[in-house]
Amino acid sequence: MILSMKTSKMIPPMETPGVLKRRALSMVSAALGILLFASAIVRAESPQGWPESDANSPISQAVEKRALEILATAPVRQAVAQGLKTLEASDAASKPEALRYVRSALEETAMFASLNAAMGASSEPSFIWTYAAPRRWHGYTMPGSRWYADNVDTFYRTLRIEEDSAYEINVRVGKTLPSQLSFMVYNWLQHDGTDPRNDVPLGTLAITENTPRNPDGTITLTVGPEPANGRPNHVQLKPGAKQVLAREIRGDGSLPAVRLAVKRTRGTAKVKSLASLAEEAAGLVASGVKATVNISVGFGHLAENQPGELRVRWIEETGSKDQKLSTDEPLGPDRALGFLTSFLFNLREGEALVLTLNMLDAEYLSINSYRPFILSPEHVYRTSSLNNYQTKKNPDGSITFVFARTDPGVYNWIDSGGIPYGIIAVRWQTLTRPVSGTLKNAMQMIKMVKIADLRQELPPTTFWVTPEQRAEQRATRAKQFLLRSLGTPCEAGGELDKPF
């Protein structure tokens, strides 16, 4: 121990002049980082008086860069290492080719956790692009942040909030609304999946043609702890609220993306150090891993190549025991956002799974495939998901999808990247009238067939494609996906989305 005679203060042995100099430089670097973070926010003011706070704004860029710092911290890397052991020991890891995808899934969980934590460091609120494929924009690369069975047709933007604060959200929609646009309040940032009802929001505000608009056509939403009291554009923050999730389902991907802006009208953000953010993110990683294990266990009990019963996507949690996850009661858009069913697929070489589904009078129907550990495959260029806007329909309005490990030459091919085993999710959203969401009403046919026999098994109206037409289909898909970058030059998916 070294004792300073001038100050009588004990100095640890490592506090040499060189160490002190390096520490000072580190403190200066940290201070500069904070100043850069703050300066990005100052520059974000738009001419209209609203902060520039959509997913590509300077505020959001600062949040993303802070998230990359958090991702590299020791607590997060330790949480990833522990999570890897947990996932490798889970039942899901025993499925065909599962271990090929485990690290990729875990790293995306960690990126999602780091983004959730980083949002808590911004002095001004902003929407952040989450549940997203890896991308390169603004001169840096963002790893994927997909988690918990993301719908690849959905442009997810997360707004982290304080439950006792108040906010205004400006929504700029085009002449045509997306298939569904909703703002959902949740009391978690990354739940652990122990209760399937956790996926039911505390409250939802869906934007429709009847939503009141401003004279310029925009929509202003108020968000705060006060009840709506008749205000149609108010979102109440109930106790425990932590995020507002903007879900823009882009069935027709050619539409321009909805533009968002947000400002805080009451309350202040909590200042947090990088160390505290890293600890928060590490905890969120652990919750995300637990959720992945829990939902994988649930999927593991499902039948292979056979959809299960449809689950209701309720608009909000009522607290009623009668609000069941599945029901044959007719439900309309006033009570439910739609329905969801999931099942496992198990395909051998030379086989195809053929599935014909009815629309259930919904405006949007989609099928997503998932790798083991519930991560969507490359979907910017590949048709690993399809919706009713992207498919060729049967004469009666139903849609026939073909799952196969290699291209069968059918336009409605679900391309899961060659994996033999995974998860399928089917979603019906934006109900147009009360309908009973049952498997009997939803499905016409499902069967396994030989790819060599497809032309005999499929209806004569089936649309077949040449390699050139497939390439055109994929190019159109990628072009439409990149509209989510809101005009910012962006690369996404493709070579950036290879499992590791």
Query: Residue 325: how many CB atoms within 10 A of its CB?
Result: 15
**DSSP character for 51?**
B
Q: How far apart are CA 159 and CA 450, in angstroms?
A: 47
Contact 118, 103 (CB under 8 A): no
Residue in the structure block whose two tokens are 């969507």 = 376
Residue type, 156: Y
pLDDT < 70 regions, the chain:
1-48, 319, 321
Q: Count H helices, E strands: the chain?
A: 8, 23
Provide the pLDDT for residue 271: 83
Provide the pLDDT for residue 320: 72
CA dihedral 322, 439, 386, 64 (to 10 degrees): 20
Q: In 3D, which of 118, 147, 122 has the Cα closest to residue 264?
A: 122
Query: Residue 104: how many CB atoms within 10 A of its CB?
Result: 20
Q: How far apart are CA 391 and CA 374, in angstroms?
A: 24
Q: How far apart are CA 470 and CA 480, in angstroms?
A: 16
DSSP string covering 306-324: S--PPEEEESS----TT--
Indicate yes or no: pTM above 0.85: yes
Contact 310, 139 (CB under 8 A): no
Q: pLDDT (tens digit, 9 = 90+) per residue, 71-106?
A: 999 999 999 999 999 999 998 899 888 999 999 999
Q: In 3D, which of 413, 392, 405, 408 has the Cα closest to residue 462?
A: 392
Q: How far apart are CA 448 and CA 329, in angstroms?
A: 31
Total residues belonging to the chain: 500
Q: In 3D, which of 112, 192, 84 has the Cα closest to residue 500?
A: 84
Q: How far apart are CA 1 and CA 11, in angstroms?
A: 7
Provide the pLDDT for residue 24: 38
Question: Any long-range contacts for 471-479 (C-beta under 8 Å, 24+ apart)?
Answer: 473/383, 473/411, 474/381, 474/382, 474/383, 475/381, 477/253, 477/380, 477/381, 477/383, 477/390, 478/380, 478/381
What are the residues facing 191 on neighbouring strands? Answer: none
Q: How far apart are CA 62 and CA 155, in angstroms?
A: 20
Q: pLDDT (tens digit, 9 = 90+) per residue, 395-424?
A: 999 999 999 999 999 999 999 888 899 999
Provide the pLDDT for residue 318: 73
